[in-house]
Structure 1
Amino acid sequence: MNKTISYTMISLLLVSSLAACGSNNESANTNTNAATNTANADTSNNAAATNDAATNDAAATNDGGDTKALSGKVVFLTNRTDMVDKEYNDYEKRFEAKYPGVDLQFEAITDYEKNEKIRIASGTYPDVVLLGGLIPNSDYPKYFAPLDDIKFSGDIYFKDFKSFEGKSYGISSGNSTVGIVYNKKAFEKAGVTAVPKTYDEFLAACQKLKDAGIVPLASNFKDKWPLGAWSGDVPTIIGAAADHQNKRKDTDTPFTMDNVYGKSWSIIRELKEKGFLEKDVNSTNWEQSKKDVAQGNFAMYLLGNWVINQVIDAGAPASDVGFFPFPADNSGQAKAPLNPDWFYGVNKDGNVEAAKAFVQWMIEESGYDEFAGFIPTLKDKQPKLAQLAEFNTYNPTYFEAVAGDDVATQILNKAQIDQDAVLQEFVLSKNPQAVLDKVNEEWAKAKKQIVK
């Protein structure tokens, strides 16, 4: 069942001081340049070996016991290529100071879910990985250790999101909502004097921005992964429900022009046709777009609050960066999703107890949530991102993400449907209905094999 959260409730979660303007950077999504601080490929294949190096009494650490009991190597497979040789160096020093017997290493990769899935299938994944939505919850016990025995200092969000048969296999690395991140100076230059509250007002604002020589919306179309909001979050806003992806298992035609996917994809198609996206959507560049938004050459992103700090890091004064709910219709009612980001998972054959200690440290002591501009996973920890307070002044109704349905996930995997790639094709095609017909055919064929 979808869970809606009123502004009154969510404001308790997201309230933050305007004085605490974030100045950190980066997203929780894959960036463009692969990097690693591991010495060689063997560090990503040593998960089983590291388990032998851990002491048998290391579990005491998760109950606040002796931090010196842990030993051995822990490798974290991350998508944050931007943090290698920078923030991760600091994390390594601080974690190893607390756990002197542990050798913490980071391996950063791009195209994360695709490459991670290959490595999990081949058994070459390290101690700590990030879990997205491509692995059914029922498969987690095959690869990952239960994390219920980690004693956090308080309650956490999305505790049961990655659970199976009463055991939790994933801890959210942070949480976010999705809306329009915008450069206030660009709005001012274009004569946009008020934040748009309806779709028609949004189009009018885009036209003013375009007329002023400013690219209205940075889509990062070529990079593909930033398009995920159009398949996950905008459909939630349009349908006022977060369970739309699970409901697809009940139909042979989940992608139609008149449902939440067709409506969402038609919006970005319209924005492209009106010239409201980058001039050449096939040559976009994620890293450059951050600078362009920071400088006011581009006015807006449709992304999560995690991108705000990276725009600031790219040179924008924090006071020039704003955040408002995306008006996907003309109702005038502000709506927004509340989502977990990637989840930490621990290889069941790796250095399990030391890996659990690392997960707990990342949540409670690393400061990663503030760095990334997240809503913290600990419920009693308030976010420090000022723009979240601004977002809440529009009184949005939040729709909390629901755990993925295994059958729907299995159908999607069987059909090998890349939703972001389908969206790209839909936007560029002269016959978008034919794109939907093709993907529905693939879905129906896979569904027939999965649902007996």
Structure 2
Amino acid sequence: MFPHSRRTRAAALTALASVIGLTAACSSSSGESNDDGVMAGEITVLTWRTDLLEDGTLDGYKAAFEKKYPDVTVEFEGITDYEGEVRTRMNTDDYGDVLGIPGTITPEQLPDFFEPLGTTEELAQTYRFINDKSFDGNGYGIAVVGNAQGLVYNKAVWEAAGITELPTTPEEFIADLAAIADSTDAVPLYTNYAASWPVTQWDGHRGSITCDEEFNRELPQDDAPWSEGKDLYVIDSVLWDAAEGGFIEDDPTTTDWEASKGMLGTGEIATMALGSWAIGQMQEAAEDPADIGYMPFPNQVGGTFCSSIGGDYNQAINIHSDHKEEARAWIDWFNSESGYAESQGGLSPLLEGDMPTTLADFAALGDDLVYLEQLPAEPGKETLVTDIDNTAEIGLQKEIYRKALIDAARGQTDETKDEFFADLNTRWAEARASVVS
């Protein structure tokens, strides 16, 4: 899965249901069928998409759904600190009828909080990314949209620096950042450090470096994943080398996520590492949408780029809900009829969904780019990566260690890159020894 973010996606005006993919607070009305056997009642959908609530987009989804199911009422509850507040509310039964599964929920916890939506085999006949939130053969969530992983950039800035071809190696990428620093006034690589969640986006490239669909299966067997040539080493080396070279913000602690979208569009920023969900937002904020490009991670296997793909937030049903039938109707309608994924410029969760126009740059690469989806963990091993990561207190999908990496690389500590990675390897190996028997 990919790290979740508390971002506000500006492309929301047409995306009625990003929020929808997120949740419903428990309602007081009955979810039982009426006398005619028709579903009736009220469901509350919790959402991180507060922007869609404010601009009225969600009202459009509500109206369309209620037109099809006139005896069901949908109420949205917007939550700004979605991850934090929803996780806290899950200590009670009151966390909605439909909700987006918080990223901190581990696979073995899914049956405790959510209603199974079907076996993974059944769901895989209709949906993509169903392995993101599955456990013991059952699926507990369905992604509202899928994302490809890459870097969003300002084409005009890169061209002004004399760069005419996509970098195919980390070394070429760092050299390109240096050229941008020398030839333009743009920040070559903007980390969005202060917002925290953007630095977790780097983790989405796991597996794409070696183009290995079994990377997450193999990671629990590796005692030194931050060794030269391996995925985590390459990913974090690019971030380290950019920070050490002075190619990021002068003061990362003062970054501004909302402002950064316009800054990329005007050429004040050259590049940001973000999932494909961000392309539409950046185009909308740009003076010329055509300036916004999307490139794969600067690494190739046999002359081919690989872009990891996976689901965004997964809609799920509160196991304590009294409105499970209505909640499931909402999820099915949202994924098959709302048009949300298309409006957000994301990958459809449906197997038969079309590729979004926002990924035109990737499409132009043709056979030179492969979309890579990780295979599910083997039965009984679904929690191994999370268990090792938690025991090691690293936080692959959290911001702490990569913010520490940025600080060390820009000279805020005395650690070298080799020392920083050696420490990660030691902690990982020790945790693995205690978790894997």
TM bin, normalised by shorter chain, reads: 0.7 to 0.9
1: CA distance between counterparts of 2:387 and 2:155? 43
Q: Specify the alignment match of 2:52 in structure 1.
A: 83
Moved more, 95-104 or 240-249: 240-249
Structure 1 counterpart of 2:345, one-letter code: G
The whole-number CA distance in structure 1 between the counterparts of 2:300 and 2:261 is: 27
Cα distance between partner residues in 1 of 2:334 and 2:297: 31
Corresponding position: 1:397 with 2:370: yes
Counterparts in 2 of 1:284 and 1:326: CA distance versus 1, 3 Å: same
SS at 1:121 equivalent? coil
Deviation of the 1:331 alpha carbon? 6.7
1:183 alignment counterpart: 154
Contact 1:31 1:82 in 2 (8 A): no
- Say which of 217, 223, 245 aligns to 2:195: 223
The share of aligned pairs that are identical, in percent, is 29
What residue number does 2:334 align with? 362
Deviations 1:275-302 (A, max 9, x none): 2222221111111111111112112222
Give how far 1:160 is off.
4.3
- What corresponds to 1:335 in structure 2? 306
C-alpha contact (below 8 Å) 1:131/1:344 kept by paired residues: yes
Runs of 5+ consecutive residues of structure 2 not aligned to the other structure: 10-22, 409-413
Distance 1:409 1:152 in 2: 24
Partner Cα separation in structure 1 for residue 309 and residue 258 of structure 2: 25
Q: Equivalent residue for 2:20? A: none
Letter in 2 for 1:146: P
Q: Secondary structure at the match of 1:219?
A: coil
SS in 2 for 1:73: strand
Q: Contact 1:29–1:80 (CA<8 Å) still a contact in 2?
A: no
Whether the 8 Å CA contact 1:175–1:338 is kept in 2: the answer is: yes
CA distance in 1, matches of 2:81, 2:215: 25
- The 1:451–1:195 alpha-carbon spacing in structure 2 relative to 1, beyond 3 Å, is closer
* 1:133 Cα deviation from its structure 2 partner: 4.9
SS of structure 2 residue aligned to 1:146: coil
Paired with 1:154 and 1:258, the residues of 2 have a C-alpha distance of: 36
Per the TM alignment, residue 257 of structure 1 is displaced from its structure 2 partner at its CA by: 5.8
Alignment of 1:244-263 (within 5 A): 244-251=215-222, 253-256=224-227, 259-263=230-234
Q: Does 1:295 align with 2:266?
A: yes
Aligned residue in 2 for 1:9: none
Distance 1:78 1:413, change over 3 A: farther
Give the Cα separation in 2 of the matches to 1:310 and 1:190.
24
| Contact 1:29–1:79 under 8 Å retained in 2 | no
Per the normalisation by structure 1, the TM-score is: 0.79
Q: Residue 309 of structure 1: CA displacement?
A: 0.6
Are 2:42 and 1:70 aligned?
no
Q: Which moves more between the two structures, 368-377 or 186-195? A: 186-195
Q: How far off is 1:268 after superposition?
A: 0.7
Which sits farther off after the overlay, 390-399 or 243-252? 243-252
Provide the rounded CA distance (Å) in 1 between the counterparts of 2:191 and 2:127. 32
Tell me by how many angstroms 1:334 deviates: 1.6
CA contact (8 A) 2:24 2:77 kept: no
Cα deviation for residue 307 of structure 1 reads: 0.6
> Per-residue deviation at 1:76?
2.0
Aligned length: 404
Report how far residue 450 of structure 1 moved. Answer: 4.1
Pairing 1:187-198 to 2, within 5 Å after superposition: 187-198=158-169
Letter in 1 for 2:31: A
Give the conservation status (yes or no) of the 8 Å contact 2:149–2:204.
no
2:352 pairs with one of 351, 370, 380: 380
**In structure 1, which of residues 83, 105, 110 is the aligned counterpart of residue 75 of structure 2?**
105
**SS of residue paired to 1:298:** coil
Q: What is residue 40 of structure 1 aligned with on the other side?
A: none
**Inter-partner Cα distance in structure 1 for 2:24 and 2:362:** 43
Counterpart position of 1:41: none
